[in-house]
Amino acid sequence: MKNVGIVGATGVVGEVFLQLLEARQFPVRELKLFASENSKGQTSEFNGRKITLETLHEGCFDGLDLVFFSSGDDISAQWGPQAVKAGAYAVDNSAAFRMSEGVPLIVPEVNGHLLPKKASLIANPNCSTIQLVVALAPLLRDFGLESVHVATYQAVSGAGKAGQEELGAQTKDWAAGNRSQSPQTFPHPIAMNCIPQIGSFQDSGFCTEELKIMRESKKILAAPTVRFSAFSVRVPAWNAHSEAVWIRLKRTAPRAELLRSLSTQSGLVVEDSPRDAVYPLAIHASGQDPVFVGRIHQDLDDPQTWLMWIVADNLRKGAALNGLQIAERIFDLTRRP
């Protein structure tokens, strides 16, 4: 039995952590939930009992074996090392430590062997990165990769509750004929729209979300020479991110061999019968644990390049589930269905 903490327990990812800890029967002895001052004293339910929310304070991690961080970069940067100092594994869902030297960036099905054997900081990758590398890992192993180009179509849940509330409110306004919407969470109205920006733009012309995908993928796959390029778009989907990907292999391969390779990957489900309109959809992936891949076809002008469509629930495999799988592997727990 483990003593567990969740920082950011009232956010959308924190709530999914709670659901999955219960559903996957993680052996929790004591659970401490941390939130903002506004939530202090309120309660959340876990395994039929109410747990009072706390704020972060000196010594709050004492006695804990594991702390999940699902809050902002600044909070993780300040409090993550304190959790480790108190003797806990700190699994951080923010971007604070992902590219830090010496901090493992982990997707268990891909590079779980790198998990440390003692209390340490462990970075949980960006949601779009996770689903991408789950599909790329078997192809890198079996064929080698030369380049990867990805366009993401990311749901509003990636911006938390505020993103979902903004889409809901704007959709109602649109249906009522009100087109004069004032966005708060996104740079433009998201209802009936697509926004080619996630994060802030850099001098290179890339936004921060795109840089995360490119840099994190190389680190997770230990593939510094593979060329990555990403283009991210926020779309008015409620939950689950989708990606169109162009993958250039180091050699040509028949489609059957490619499908066999993808089918061997743990955590990846192939849904590929496009003539029957069978391919991954965000609305079906939402609430599901695996990464889904389909629309797998060869480029007409380059037989070494394959196109595919990758979809996953960004709150589950893209965040909380991946973090919990990290913890299950750390403590050598039998993987739950």
Two tokens at 287?
A: 């609430």
Count of CB atoms situated within 10 Å of the CB of 54: 17
What's the CA gap between 270 and 61, in Å, rounded? 41
What's the CA gap between 94 and 73, in Å, rounded? 5
Q: Is-catalytic flag, 207?
A: no
What's the CA gap between 63 and 322, in Å, rounded? 24
Q: In the chain, how long is the greatest CA-to-CA distance?
A: 61
What's the CA gap between 306 and 241, in Å, rounded? 20
Q: Is-catalytic flag, 149?
A: no
With beta carbons less than 8 A apart as the criterion, state whether 200 and 191 touch.
Answer: no
Nearest to 130 by CA among 332, 321, 328, 329: 321
Catalytic residue among 57, 60, 113, 127: 127
With beta carbons less than 8 A apart as the criterion, state whether 289 and 317 touch.
Answer: yes
What's the CA gap between 111 and 219, in Å, rounded? 10
Nearest to 207 by CA among 182, 186, 189, 238: 186
Pairing of strands 28-34, 2-7: parallel
With beta carbons less than 8 A apart as the criterion, state whether 153 and 224 touch.
Answer: no
Pairing of strands 89-92, 121-123: parallel
The half-sphere exposure of 116 on its side-chain side, counting CA atoms within 13 A, is 15
Catalytic residue among 60, 149, 241, 284: 241
The amino acid occupying position 134 is V
Q: Which residues are catalytic?
A: 127, 241
